């Protein structure tokens, strides 16, 4: 197996201001992923390559395998080899399967490391209902896109364990600054939320709403309690909307003379809103921890993690990813649902401008689900479903592209 091997006919994708400079035959790096990565990656690649062939005939992706995770460790003794970082710096775009977070030994999550090294500041999670997918909702008309800030808030990992000298020092400082008592045996975590980080995230969400003809952008926050972090996020979000997008947006309660409404919701309310009236929500922009929770909760409405795609986007780099983990108990069984990774690559095709191939994939996936030929996770919720393997599911999607 040759890793880091770039086909001579491939063309480099440049990303400027979060947008790709279009190229035929783009070079795309891929990380197969641990656990079920060995199942879902080949299934996904089959679907994507066939969709491009059917849509354009003369366009191909120049796939380049780069190493990360357990496979990397086995081959190189390193979970995230420097060469992978160098390749991503050079080629700017990639797709990754799930990666194990090694437990203990002081490892940082590989996902978090990639996001921080490349300043992939927006985690974008579309949450869309496909007909026939089992859902806990009676009327699952869900079509939301969540923009989660990816570099600040609790993701900075600034924390000190209870009873350490550092925690005690910070407690002293807090008490001297705030005049509030903190129990001496407290663990301490810091939650930084900046104007710069908040504004660029909300800016990206509003631009997305404009480009994709969406109807609203909701700022989700817990500003009633955390005024200078969560509350500030909301205020900065409104500032960006009013100062930079006044031709496109109006505020909730104003006369709807522009295409996109901006509003905000407190985080706890947002959770009930997406269950009771998901049709009222479209694009959601939020801080890191809120985004983490709401993304998986929203995915549960449309078939679960097996159906949820994602992307991490920065100014100059884009990494698309299956949002679920490695599901180790199913690894190598050719059983799990490849849709999360397939829909992530569909996002990538849209991002690169290959919209026709992206639509082919979406249509064929929808048809395969309506035919009730689905993987185990969907089969257990669909009456009369025929359970198929991961690879068979991909083959059926290809067949349904006609
Ligand atoms: P997980 O791997 O996402 O699996 C949790 C459950 O989700 C599975 O048991 C399965 O549910 C369902 N599931 C996951 N992938 C599926 C698929 N493709 N099709 C259908 N159902 C699927 O979460 P975890 O067990 O908490 O984490 C395992 C490892 O993955 C950990 O090392 C964790 O750090 C890592 N992780 C990585 C990422 C990432 O790379 N982005 C994200 C999350 C976790 P049922 O048991 O009900 O069938």
Question: Is 268 labeled as catalytic in the residue annotation?
Answer: yes
- Give the per-residue pLDDT at 328: 93
Query: Each residue of 222-276: pLDDT tens digit?
Result: 999 999 999 999 999 999 999 999 999 999 999 999 999 999 999 999 999 999 9
**Pocket probe mutation, ligand 1, options 43, 96, 98, max atoms within 8 Å of Cβ:** 98
pLDDT greater than 90 at residue 91: yes
Tokens coding 190 = 């810091």
Q: How many Cβ atoms sit within 10 Å of the Cβ of residue 246?
A: 10
- Mean pLDDT score, 5-34: 91
Return the beta strands (E) in 3-132 as ranges: 14-16, 19-21, 27-31, 62-65, 93-96, 122-128
Nearest CA to ligand 1 atom 8: 327
| Residue 304 CB partners (closer than 8 Å, separation 6+) | 377
- Give the per-residue pLDDT at 115: 85
- Give the per-residue pLDDT at 82: 92
Q: Give the residue from 352, 357, 283, 355 showing the smallest Cα distance to 19.
A: 352
pLDDT classification of 107: cutoffs 50, 70, 90: low
Using CB atoms within 10 Å of the CB of residue 272, give its burial: 0 to 12 exposed, 13 to 18 middle, 19+ buried. Answer: exposed
pLDDT classification of 19: cutoffs 50, 70, 90: confident
Please give the distance, rounded to the nearest whole angstrom, from the Cα atom of residue 324 to the centre of ligand 1.
5
pLDDT classification of 104: cutoffs 50, 70, 90: low
Total-model pTM: 0.92
Q: Which atom of ligand 1 has the smallest separation from the CA of 110?
A: 40
Any idea what DSSP says for residue 156? G
Measure the CA–CA gap between 323 and 300, rounded to whole angstroms: 12
Question: Is 49 labeled as catalytic in the residue annotation?
Answer: no
- Give the per-residue pLDDT at 106: 54
Q: Half-sphere exposure (CA, 13 Å, Cβ side) for 194? A: 8
| Helix 390-399 × helix 37-56 angle, to 10° | 10
Query: Each residue of 179-224: pLDDT tens digit?
Result: 899 999 999 999 999 999 999 999 999 999 999 999 999 999 999 9
- Residue 163 gets the label, from left (phi > 0), alpha (psi -120 to 50) or beta, of left
Active-site hit among 121, 155, 208, 330? 155
pLDDT classification of 354: cutoffs 50, 70, 90: very high
Return the beta strands (E) in 222-375 as ranges: 249-251, 260-266, 283-286, 309-313, 318-322, 373-374
- Contact in structure between 170 and 189 (CB atoms under 8 Å): no
Measure the CA–CA gap between 126 and 287, rounded to whole angstroms: 16
Query: Each residue of 49-64: pLDDT tens digit?
Result: 999 999 998 899 999 9
- Mean pLDDT score, 108-121: 84
pLDDT greater than 90 at residue 116: no
Active-site hit among 89, 196, 268, 329? 268
Q: What is the mean pLDDT of the chain?
A: 93
Question: Beta partners for 250?
Answer: 261
Measure the CA–CA gap between 41 and 47, rounded to whole angstroms: 10
- The more confident residue out of 126 and 156 is 126
pLDDT greater than 70 at residue 32: yes
Question: Is 282 labeled as catalytic in the residue annotation?
Answer: no
Question: Is 222 labeled as catalytic in the residue annotation?
Answer: yes
Measure the CA–CA gap between 12 and 316, rounded to whole angstroms: 13
Q: What lines the ligand 1 site, CB under 6 Å?
A: 36, 40, 98-101, 111, 305-306, 321, 324-327, 336-337, 340, 377
């Amino acid at each position: 197996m040759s890793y880091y091997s770039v086909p001579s006919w491939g063309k480099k994708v440049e990303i400027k201001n979060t947008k790709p400079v279009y190229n035929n035959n783009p070079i795309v790096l891929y990380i197969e992923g641990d656990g079920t990565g060995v199942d879902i990656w080949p299934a996904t690649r089959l679907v994507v390559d066939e969709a491009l062939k059917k849509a354009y005939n003369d366009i191909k992706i120049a796939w380049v395998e780069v190493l990360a995770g357990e496979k990397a460790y086995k081959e190189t003794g390193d979970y995230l080899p420097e060469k992978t970082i160098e390749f991503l710096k050079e080629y700017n775009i990639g797709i990754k399967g799930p990666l194990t977070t090694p437990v203990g030994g002081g490892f940082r999550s590989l996902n978090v490391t990639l996001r921080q090294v490349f300043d992939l500041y927006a985690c974008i999670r579309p949450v869309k209902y496909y007909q026939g997918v089992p859902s806990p909702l009676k009327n699952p008309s869900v079509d939301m896109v969540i923009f989660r800030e990816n570099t600040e808030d609790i993701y900075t990992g600034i924390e000190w364990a209870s009873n350490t000298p550092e925690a005690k020092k910070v407690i002293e400082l807090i008490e001297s600054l705030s005049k509030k008592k903190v129990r001496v045996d407290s663990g301490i975590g810091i939650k930084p939320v900046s104007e710069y980080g908040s504004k660029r995230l909300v800016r990206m969400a509003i631009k997305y709403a404009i480009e994709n003809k969406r109807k609203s952008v909701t700022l989700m926050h817990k500003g009633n309690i955390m005024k200078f972090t969560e509350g500030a996020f909301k205020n900065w979000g409104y500032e960006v909307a009013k100062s930079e997008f006044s031709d496109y947006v109006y505020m909730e309660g104003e006369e709807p003379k522009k295409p996109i409404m901006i509003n905000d919701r407190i985080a706890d309310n947002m959770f009930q809103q997406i269950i009771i009236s998901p049709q009222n929500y479209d694009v959601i922009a939020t801080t890191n921890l809120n985004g983490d929770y709401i993304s998986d909760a929203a995915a549960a409405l449309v078939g679960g993690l097996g159906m949820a795609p994602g992307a991490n986007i920065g100014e100059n780099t884009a990494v698309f990813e299956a949002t679920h983990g490695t599901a180790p108990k199913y690894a190598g069984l050719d059983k799990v649902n490849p849709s999360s990774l397939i829909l992530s690559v569909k996002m990538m095709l849209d991002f690169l401008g290959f919209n026709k191939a992206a639509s082919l994939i979406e249509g064929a996936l929808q048809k395969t689900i309506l035919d009730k030929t689905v993987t185990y996770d969907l089969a257990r919720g669909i009456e009369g479903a025929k359970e198929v393997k991961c690879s068979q599911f991909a083959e059926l999607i290809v067949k349904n592209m006609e």
